[in-house]
Amino acid sequence: MSLEARVPQQDRSRATRQRLLEAAIDCLATVGWSGSTVAVVAERAGVSRGATQHHFPTREDLVTAAVEHISSQRIDALRASLADLPAGPARVETVVGMIGEMYSGTMFRAALQLWVAASSDEQLRAKVVPLEAHVGREAHRLTVEALAADEVKPGVREAIQATLDLARGLGLANLLTDDSKRRARVLAEWTRMLEDVLTAS
């Protein structure tokens, strides 16, 4: 096969893989862990069982790749939104809002299914824990950068960690009902409290 013919085929293969991963995340977020079998994901992706098995021989392979995909997507999404920040006093408010976004929506729902499944599955836990630690570190680092926060100041490091923990808790509160109005009020007050910590001398 010529190089010209191989490249598009690689592209197609990559696109198929991508479609399967996105279908896996979508499945996790909507039908939950136990409903997200290889067959269900393949059908949702519109990919044949054969092609699916070529990419992901087992459910474990598919899920692991989906975990990695979710992790890098969550970090990329945060990085992209933090790269384009307004200057001035609205900055803290904007950053807090973006972190709130990171822990709501489809990606968070899918990740939550994985965490909870991993809590009673040793093998899955062994894969999820290092990835989640990586996401946590990156989210923290990006937040510190975006806020130009001085972590040497007392309380600053903990207040930024608390921002991520709070957002995770708000994501959970939003799981079964639309909690967006209450969340907006909580995050507004949180922004004010965080600004106090960041600007304290």
Nearer to a copy of itself, 16 or 191 (CB): 191
Which lies closer to a copy of itself via its Cβ, residue 42 or residue 135? 135
User: Which C-beta is closer to a copy of itself: that of 16 or that of 111?
Assistant: 111
- Which one of 42-50, 51-59, 83-91, 170-178 is the stretch in contact with a copy of itself (CB under 8 A)? 170-178
Q: b/e map of 123-137 (b: 16 or more CB within 10 Å)?
A: ebeebbeebbeebee
CA atoms of 201 and 196, how far apart (whole Å): 10
Write down the least CB distance from residue 131 to a copy of itself, Å. 11
Q: SS3 string of 50-61? A: HHHHHHCCCHHH
Whole-number Å distance between alpha carbons of 26 and 15? 16
Least separation in angstroms between CB 172 and a copy of itself: 5
Residues with Cβ within 8 Å of residue 170, at least 6 apart in sequence: 100, 103, 104, 179, 183, 186, 187
Pattern 121-140, a copy of itself, x by CB under 8 A: x---x--xx--xx--x----
Determine, following the binding rule CB under 8 A, whether residue 56 of this chain makes contact with a copy of itself: no
Binding segment for a copy of itself among 62-70, 72-80, 142-150, 156-164 (CB under 8 A)? 156-164
Taking the C-alpha atoms of residue 76 and residue 50, their distance in angstroms, rounded to an integer, is 31
Give the type of residue at 21. Answer: L
Return the DSSP state at 104: S
Give contact residues for a copy of itself (rule: CB under 8 A): 30-35, 109, 112-113, 115-121, 125, 128-129, 132-133, 136, 155, 158-159, 161-162, 164-173, 175-177, 182, 185-186, 188-190, 192-193, 196-197
